Amino acid sequence: MKPSLFAGNALRGMLIGTAEVIPGVSGGTVALIVGVYDHIINGISHLVRAVGFLLRGKPKDAGKQFRKIKFTILLPILFGMILAILTTASILEPLLVAEPEIVRAAFAGMLIASLYVPLRLIGKSFRSIHLAILILGAIAAFWLTSLPNAGLDSPVAWQIVLFAGLAVCALVLPGVSGSFFLLAVGMYGPTIAAVNNRDLGYLGLFVIGAIIGLLSFAMVMKWFLDNYRALTLSLMIGLMIGSLRALWPWQDDYREPLGITDPTGPVIALLLGAGVVALTIGLERYLRSRSTQ
């Protein structure tokens, strides 16, 4: 592989990895922007088929599927993602401690702006049934994030594996942030801390969950997107809207909402966060229009 190709794909991976760490910014959306979304999804698909053939005792068929995976593209992307996650996590953790209101407001702005992506994907096919699903998803997410002590400040092994598997589905569904999902269930802080502290036990369980997610949940999500696209996107939009409760800037240690105090900083952060995502979406549309000319 040419060094320039490796560097280019590693840079793409760094952009995706940075997005995966920031709640409200979708790694799947960034993968679309930098032109590697299809490579990632197809690679997952071929990997799942290869594992299936191996389990059925068909190594030749498994080998054919492995050879279809574009490792020269995906491995540099993976390298860049890991590098970006380690770097970005070290920056975000102290900010979450020092300026929680500012950070939550910025994340909320990013999430609000990113709602445009799944809404655009639904487009004119939006019907009353989709609105009903959206509302149900919003109610469910709002209720879940309203539960007392809902945050998983000290998640046990099965929780780490399960929620890591669900969060990694964000790579399959542009517009949905995996790190925001972790934030909504209270696992974002512990996960960022585990990355910075090199907690190999926690990270090992997280990687296991992510692999399971790629081999199962992500493929299930892809099937729903292929067969019930608008319904699935409507549910995701509802979940995103309802989960905004977890990003109310002013809240106590138990995630209970507090009254507004000095809104200037959080409002500016919210607008800046929304602006970052809006610029990202605008760049995606521009690149797509250029590629079709």
- Within the chain, which residues score under 70 in pLDDT? 1-2, 24-25, 147-153, 170, 174-176, 253-255, 284, 287-288, 291-293
What's the confidence (pLDDT) of residue 146?
A: 74
pTM: 0.70
C-alpha to C-alpha distance for 234 and 249, rounded to whole angstroms: 26
pLDDT digits (tens, 9 = 90+) for 19-78: 888 776 678 777 877 778 878 888 888 888 898 899 899 999 999 999 999 999 999 999
User: For residues 135 and 242, is the Cβ–Cβ distance under 8 A?
Assistant: no
Q: Whole domain around residue 230: which residue ranges?
A: 3-291
C-alpha to C-alpha distance for 95 and 90, rounded to whole angstroms: 9
Structural domain tally of the chain? 1
What's the confidence (pLDDT) of residue 149?
A: 47
What's the confidence (pLDDT) of residue 24?
A: 62
Structure tokens at 92: 């975000």
What's the confidence (pLDDT) of residue 287?
A: 66
What's the confidence (pLDDT) of residue 292?
A: 63
What's the confidence (pLDDT) of residue 202?
A: 94
Work out the burial of residue 13: count CB atoms within 10 Å of its CB; fewer than 13 is exposed, 13-18 middle, 19 or more buried: buried
